[in-house]
Amino acid sequence: MMIYSQMKTIKLNLKGILGIITLCMASLLVGVAYADEPIKITISSSMGHVQFDGEWTHGTEWKHSSFDKFWYDRGTAYAEAIILRTAHQDKFFYVFIDYLTDFTNDHIADRAIVCFDGYDTSSVADESDWCYAVSRGSGNGHTLQGGSPIYQTSHFNLVKNHPDFVAHGGTSGENDRYVETPHAAYEFRIPIEQIGFQDEYGFFVQVYDGNDVKTYPKEFSGKFPQKIPSPVKWGKIVSPDHSISNYDSQ
């Protein structure tokens, strides 16, 4: 009788442990799904009014674009926030990164990178992977294309800019929609034809604030230096109304 009672107790304990493990795994899965939530890009008709000066120039400049907000270390004294505005118009991607809490201007060290993965995703960056970078205080952006055998460069090569590519890093403040205190901001106009007309892309954002790196997906945030992760680990940017793929027939 005593042995039976002990075995019953062990079974109950095992069930309890398995229940806790299952709950923890479910919590982890929920966390991953939230962290990798796709960016939904919208079509716009007002991006032609954007002034590429690295700031929110007037109150409605980026109003007609998709809105995403990312918190880092939320609930702590070190909480930081980035607003991402995205849109597409006339075969261009428009991206605005508003780093609301980067109040210090670290010369050269402050910069942003936006990456798109077109067509088939591979574990190593290939020719269908494109990244666009610009430093704060600069209107001269750079283009990186995958396909390099060199691990130290995350398998990207520096290539010639598309003639219609525009990027500017600057300081937003007085007219900013969210924070009037001067802070880092980055604007991009990227020709979609260079990447390919699709309705879903791999998507990665990396922003440097001195020695800190903030990213989407957020799991790659940390201290400088940080490499661009494998494209299979990037997030997604999608066109819910399939309006990007329609460009291909125009």
Shared domain for 80 and 7, answered yes or no, is no
Q: Which of 237, 214, 241, 242 is nearest to 226 (CA)?
A: 214
Question: How deeply is 226 buried, as exposed, middle or buried, from its count of CB atoms within 10 A (0-12, 13-18, 19+)?
Answer: middle
pLDDT tens-place string over residues 97-145 = 999 999 999 877 899 999 999 877 889 999 999 999 999 999 999 999 9
Q: What is the pLDDT of residues 203-231, one digit of tens each?
A: 999 999 887 899 999 999 988 778 899 99
Residues of the domain holding 127:
40-249
Q: Which DSSP state fits 55? A: S
My answer on whether 84 and 207 are in the same domain is yes
Helix (H) or strand (E) holding 111: strand 111-117
Q: Tell me what pLDDT residue 210 has.
A: 82
Q: Is the pLDDT of residue 22 over 90?
A: no
Is residue 15's pLDDT more than 50? Answer: no
Q: Compare 30 and 193 and report the one with higher pLDDT.
A: 193
117 and 5 together in one domain: no
Same domain as 109, residue 11: no
How many domains, in total, are found in the chain?
2
pLDDT of residue 249: 64
Question: What does the pLDDT average to over 136-162?
Answer: 96
Are 16 and 79 part of one and the same domain?
no
pLDDT at 181 over 60: yes
Query: Is pLDDT of 184 > 80?
Result: yes
Higher pLDDT, 49 or 19: 49
Using the predicted structure, report yes or no on whether residue 32 has a pLDDT greater than 50.
Answer: no
Same domain, 16 and 127: no
**pLDDT over threshold 70, residue 3:** no
